[in-house]
Amino acid sequence: MTIQILRLLIAPFALMLMATLVLFSNLSSLSAELQLLIITLPYLLGAANLLLGFLFNQSRLLLAAFNLLGAYALIQFCLQTPLQQPDTYVLFSLLSLLMPINHLVICLAPERGLLNRGAWLRLLVPLAAYLALWFLWHQQLLGYWLGHLPMLLLDLIAENHYLSEGATWLFAITLILNAIVFSLRRTRADAALFVSLLTMPALFFWFDLKQISPLLFTCIQLMLCQALISHSHQLAFIDELTGLPARRALQEQLSSLGQRYTLAMMDIDHFKQFNDRHGHDAGDQVLRMVAAQLKQVGGGGRVFRYGGEEFTVLFRGKTEADVLPHLEQLRESIAHYPLHLRQPNRSENTKVGRQQRQPGKKARDSDKALQVTISIGLCERGPMQLHSDEVMQLADKALYAAKRAGRNRTLANSQLTRRRRRSSQADFA
């Protein structure tokens, strides 16, 4: 769990570190054209994130990009004057509260896509809030509220900086809640939202630094963009049920193989009958169990879910003789694995679930351990099979030969070749 969270945080934190290094460099020496480009970048990246969020049906990342665009536009159009002016300071204070509140609402919302009323309502709320602030600022009505602001918004946490105590407390609360949501969901979207919220207080703390808002908003939009692209990659290359690389990832690997490799095709025996008898939920449990066992393959093999109940293991730089012991070990580990189907009343807690399955407890038929077996066919790339499609076809033939021979066994293409040669010699004699 901890390793998974750290992996999700690597890219957002790298972007945040990059923005920090640029922020404290000498930007005043840049040409006017480059400074204009820096100011424009958040708009361009925000528009790209809106498009990607729409195409990938990711409502939370789309809403986060929209929230950032609204806040950035407000800063660029209304907060380019000294904060000593009453209207400007009130707008700055209210914005320091509105940004984390909007961000928290987006973070807590479930991901249900864009085709629902709730998503569009969450889109209209920040839009209406930012438009209302812009209208009040434009009419110079915000200055009248300066005397009514609570002391938490007037007292700053550090001298010569602009983050108020009230905004600090609000950022801290929202950050804790965001961290809890991230630890529970553990998605790339939540990682990007968490790190972007971690970045936002710096905007208000160092608000007087030159080009701070374009740089930080560019950094945050890049975090969202990275999460959207990673999400699309996961949809295309990772099987959601088993967590294994999918068929498209296998095709990409096959296009860049070397001169020597071995390919193994695997199929779960009698899977259709198992599904018909126990149901598709039980079938999913079988697929997850088999995938978990296959992940333990030795010999440098990489496992893919080919489709349905079929899996593929690719061994780079290995011969059939090299990989046969590892495949046999896999087959035996699956055949001897006691699979207990998860019942509706079984606890999600691993320890409690293990206690429910103790041998001393009376077991129903549906609670008894089931045996799952696989058949394996493999083929090594040789001088007669130069293309990966030919290697896969021969591995597939070996797989079905293993099934015809009684299932729960491993059969190599070279064994089939020797059998055909012996058969042809006997016919000739």
Which DSSP string corresponds to 45-79? HHHHHHHHHHHTT-HHHHHHHHHHHHHHHHHHHHS
Q: Return the pLDDT at 360.
A: 46
Say how many Å lie between the first and final Cα of the chain, rounded: 64
Across-strand partners of 379?
263
Q: Return the pLDDT at 427.
A: 47
**Among 371, 372, 379, residue whose Cα is nearest residue 413:** 379
Helices vs. strands in the chain: H and E counts, helices first: 16, 5
User: Which H or E run includes 410?
Assistant: strand 410-412
**Among 419, 412, 386, residue whose Cα is nearest residue 397:** 412
Euclidean distance between CA atoms 15 and 17, whole angstroms: 5
State how far the alpha carbon of 287 is from the alpha carbons of 126, 274, 291, 368, in Å: 43, 11, 6, 18
Q: Return the pLDDT at 424.
A: 46
What is the pTM assigned to this prediction? 0.72
Q: Cα-Cα-Cα-Cα dihedral of 245, 251, 252, 258, to 10°?
A: 110
Say how many C-beta atoms besides its own lie within 10 A of residue 225's C-beta: 20
Q: Return the pLDDT at 251.
A: 87
Rg over alpha carbons for the chain, rounded to the nearest Å, is 29
Euclidean distance between CA atoms 316 and 52, whole angstroms: 35
Residue 57 corresponds to which tokens in the numbers above? 């049906």
Strands 310-316, 374-380: parallel, antiparallel or unpaired by DSSP?
unpaired
Euclidean distance between CA atoms 214 and 293, whole angstroms: 49
User: Which H or E run includes 310?
Assistant: strand 310-316
Determine the residue type at 54: F
Determine the residue type at 89: Y
**Among 4, 16, 5, residue whose Cα is nearest residue 223:** 16
**CB burial of residue 206 (10 Å; 0-12, 13-18, 19+):** middle
Q: Return the pLDDT at 425.
A: 42
**Among 396, 346, 397, residue whose Cα is nearest residue 367:** 346
Euclidean distance between CA atoms 173 and 85, whole angstroms: 29
Across the 429 residues of the chain, what is the mean pLDDT of every consecutive 10-residue run? 72 75 66 85 94 89 92 93 89 94 89 76 84 92 88 88 93 94 88 91 89 89 90 81 88 81 92 84 89 90 91 91 92 88 55 50 55 92 78 91 91 76 46
Q: Return the pLDDT at 421.
A: 53
Residue 410 corresponds to which tokens in the numbers above? 């491993």
- Which parts of 79-164 fold into alpha helices (H)? 86-108, 117-138, 151-154
